[in-house]
Amino acid sequence: MKGRITSCPSCGAPVEFRNRGSWVAVCDFCQTAVGRGDKSPEDYGKVGDLVVTDSPFRRGTVGQYRNRSFEVTGRVQYQHPAGGTWDEWYLTFRDGKMGWLAEAQGKRYLTFRRQLKPQENLDLDKLEPGQHFRIRNQEFSVDEVGSAVALAAQGEIPWVFRPGADHRFADLSGSDGAYATIDADETGVSFYLGREVSLDDLQLESDDWQAERSPQLVPGVQLNCPHCGGQISLHAPDKTERVTCGNCSSLLDVSQGKLSFFKTVTAKKVHPKIPLGSEGAIDGTSYTVIGFMERFTTYHDKTYPWVEYLLYSTDKGFRWLVQSERHWTFVEPVATRDVEFQNRAASVNERRFKMYDRGHAIVRFVLGEFYWRVEIGEAVETVDYISPPHSLSVERSKTSSSEEFNVSFGTYMTPAEVESAFGLESAHLPIPWGVGPCQPPPELGYGVFLLWPVFIGLLWVTHLGFRQSDSFMMLFAMAAVSLFPIGVLFYKHNFEVQRWQDSDYSPYSSDDD
Ligand SMILES: [Zn+2]
Ligand SMILES: [Zn+2]
């Protein structure tokens, strides 16, 4: 393919545009973003410094996607409004086609730019998280709408990148890993369609990147608290955005393996039942407990607190273990595209959940490491649904420039299951209070319902067999035999009433209040 070499308007060094689709190239000598320009190159200003990440990609990395080879020719690093950065890599395929590879929180999405038909006009201002719509005969759901800052860049960039400019976007997900983004720059709205990919899908030529990882990003490295000098070690250094100091209770910002003071958290003596750093296995995956958080909601002027443990696995990423009223739930993320909302109900993969609760969850205490810029007082809107032994939680968070929508799927765990998963002594965890919202109902009783007609039948046979048997005695015996199943029914009903007692949506509540 024909390239073009021009000279940098800032320092005069040669700047190459190898790809015809490149709008901007970053000068390797003075870090100026150079616009291709119609006639002469334009100076778009200096780019920021790239934040070191744990990515296997670099400019020049060569690989293959679906038997077509590509080379990484450029990169833009964005600053997310909620803190944190993500990378977008630009792949140039042999035929000159460009691929957009986004890398965020351990996930990768490869998309290609698609022309929109006139009737498919997408208005970024009208999109809302949670909304579903069809485009290109595929069903998509909006996961996030926001605005990020394009800070740093390298190589050739296939859109009009201006350092420090706001970049508006929407992330969409569809079924079977389908993924799309919509973004807007000064040339208009663009649509990108593709899917989530794994490293195996991209067949990188060399995997020596492991050896070149920055030593600062190796898990377990010891850092010093900038406030008190105490030692802090990070379990997920390339993903952690905030960490607390166990010594002085400072909440610290983490950036490129460096710590800076953010604010002091009210010191209180909290000893999580599962200590930070504990390792455990759930469903065959090993996790390390890296964070602990207390959140609460208020209802009729009363405060209801609960705690959440943040679990980290190098393979699966982040999970939560939530403890409320001493009941435990293991929580995993769900793709919003898989969720359908109905009036006071939601379904995921044909499982129907009933609305249980809605409110606001507010953070009141944190300990350990977090993958976002957690703050005391941080609030999200929540809606909880149940379908025992599972739960579904929807959280909506807003910042001044973005709105995010997250859904997670919970599975009830008994204290004994949590104890055995984390190697805790038995009876280390307290006995739960009442009935948990997604606690499975007792299984006891089905045998009784099957045996009941058998007993009744036997009584009849006995009654008919002995002519002189008393009818009154017969009725008495039948009543006695029926008492137990009635008791079981009563117990099960009572269990369900208790499950719903804290909910405004209880199917058992009386209408007279
Ligand atoms: Zn230059
Ligand atoms: Zn400290």
| Residues with C-beta atoms within 5 A of ion ligand 2 | 225, 227-228, 230, 245, 247-248, 250
- How much distance in Å is there from the Cα of 332 to the middle of ligand 1? 47
Q: What count of Cα atoms within 13 Å lies in the side-chain half-sphere of residue 152?
A: 12
Residue 468 scores a pLDDT above 70: no
Ligand nearest to the CA of 46: 1
Say if residues 457 and 478 touch (Cβ distance below 8 Å): no
- How much distance in Å is there from the Cα of 258 to the middle of ligand 1? 29
What is the reported pLDDT for 200? Answer: 87
- How much distance in Å is there from the Cα of 377 to the middle of ligand 1? 45
Q: At CA 75, angle to CA 69 and CA 79, rounded to 5?
A: 140
* Listed range (315-329, 377-391, 488-502) with the worst mean pLDDT: 488-502
What is the reported pLDDT for 210? Answer: 44
Q: At CA 383, angle to CA 379 and CA 389, rounded to 5?
A: 125
- How much distance in Å is there from the Cα of 82 to the middle of ligand 2? 24
Residue 292 phi, psi (nearest 5): -140, 135
Over pLDDT 70: what percentage of the chain? Answer: 92
Residue 513 scores a pLDDT above 50: no
**How large is the average pLDDT for residues 66-82?**
90
Confidence of residue 271 (pLDDT cuts 50, 70, 90): confident
Read off the pTM: 0.66
What token pair was written down for 153? Answer: 């860049």
What token pair was written down for 237? Answer: 């250094």
- How much distance in Å is there from the Cα of 32 to the middle of ligand 1? 5
| Residues with C-beta atoms within 5 A of ion ligand 1 | 8, 10-11, 13, 27, 29-30, 32
Confidence of residue 1 (pLDDT cuts 50, 70, 90): very low
Confidence of residue 219 (pLDDT cuts 50, 70, 90): low
Count of all residues that appear for the chain in the document? 513
What is the reported pLDDT for 511? Answer: 53
* Listed range (30-44, 291-305, 473-487) with the worst mean pLDDT: 473-487
Residue 322 scores a pLDDT above 70: yes
Max mean pLDDT range (172-176, 339-343, 350-354):
350-354
Q: Does residue 509 or residue 155 have the better pLDDT? A: 155
**Strand ranges for 30-161 from DSSP E:** 32-35, 42-46, 62-65, 68-79, 85-93, 98-104, 107-114, 132-135, 138-157
DSSP annotation of 205 reads S
Tell how many helices (H) and how many strands (E) occur in the chain.
Answer: 4, 31
